[in-house]
A and B are shown apart, each in its own frame.
Chain A
Amino acid sequence: MHLHKYEKYWLVFGVTTLVAFLIILGIGAFHQGSHPNVGKKTLDYEKVKEFPPFDNPGVHKVEGKDWDYEVVVLASAFYYNPPEIEVPLGAKVKFIATSEDVMHGFEVAGTNINMMLEPGYISEYVTEVNKVGEFLIVCNEYCGTGHTMMHSMLKVVDPNESK
């Protein structure tokens, strides 16, 4: 099999680029812990309301953990509980969410928070909310007729700014 000299240059360049991308992603993931949602905990979706923490959806300040707040979200057709989330700027927040019925999405527009919510599985994502603003939360997985009525709002507020 004959490979043109230039084709060799190109393949070396192309493969090197791809390997470089993978190394950057791999370091980000396995060294700095930047993973997408890889939640592995399961529950019975029909009894989710009896199952902590989903017996108490909302924003909770926590102590002694690697994060400052836990935001517990229960999604169902076509509604998020809580309907609004407020967290202080700079807080490290763990989002914990699941679905009560079908597949839903939990996407905070303009951020990297983007998870699938699957009945029976707990989706989790930890991040530091480092920008003030109102971020629209949308369901980005088709869940039925009311799919686009399903939204919520993440408000990141600066605690030093007087209200």
Chain B
Amino acid sequence: MANKKKPDENLKGSLYAVFGVGIMIILLWVYCFNLFIERF
């Protein structure tokens, strides 16, 4: 089994991609939250 310490793989693209997903989630949520605050 390959459990000895190996350097982490290069997953920089994945890091950017998931953070992109995260930003989209935040943008949509903030947009809807604003709509909610504006309405009575």
Say whether A associates with B. yes
Q: Which residues on A are within 8 Å of B, measured CB to CB?
A: 2, 4-6, 9-10, 13-14, 17, 21, 24, 110-113, 127-131
Q: Do B15 and A129 touch across chains, with their CB atoms under 8 A apart? A: no
CB distance from A56 to the nearest CB of B (A): 25
Q: Classify the secondary structure of B's interface with A.
A: helix
Q: Do B8 and A13 touch across chains, with their CB atoms under 8 A apart? A: no
Partner of A130 from B15, B36, B40 at Cβ < 8 Å: B40
Enumerate chain B residues within 8 angstroms of A128, measured Cβ to Cβ.
40
CB distance from B6 to the nearest CB of A (A): 9
A21–B9 Cα distance when bound, in Å, is: 32
Enumerate chain A residues within 8 angstroms of B18, measured Cβ to Cβ.
10, 14
Beyond A13-B19, A14-B22, A17-B26, whether A111 also contacts B11 by CB under 8 A is: no
Enumerate chain A residues within 8 angstroms of B3, measured Cβ to Cβ.
2
A160–B3 Cα distance when bound, in Å, is: 77
A10–B25 Cα distance when bound, in Å, is: 13
B31 within 8 A of A: no
Number of interface residues of B (CB under 8 A): 17
A130–B40 Cα distance when bound, in Å, is: 7
- From 1 to 40 in chain B, residues with beta carbon under 8 angstroms from any chain A beta carbon are 3, 8-9, 11-12, 14-15, 18-19, 22, 25-26, 29, 33, 36, 39-40
Q: Which residues on B are within 8 Å of A, measured CB to CB?
A: 3, 8-9, 11-12, 14-15, 18-19, 22, 25-26, 29, 33, 36, 39-40
A128–B38 Cα distance when bound, in Å, is: 12
A6–B26 Cα distance when bound, in Å, is: 19
Beyond A5-B8, A9-B15, whether A129 also contacts B22 by CB under 8 A is: no
CB distance from B32 to the nearest CB of A (A): 11
Enumerate chain A residues within 8 angstroms of B36, measured Cβ to Cβ.
112
Q: Do B19 and A112 touch across chains, with their CB atoms under 8 A apart? A: no
Q: Do A17 and B25 touch across chains, with their CB atoms under 8 A apart? A: yes
Enumerate chain B residues within 8 angstroms of A110, measured Cβ to Cβ.
39
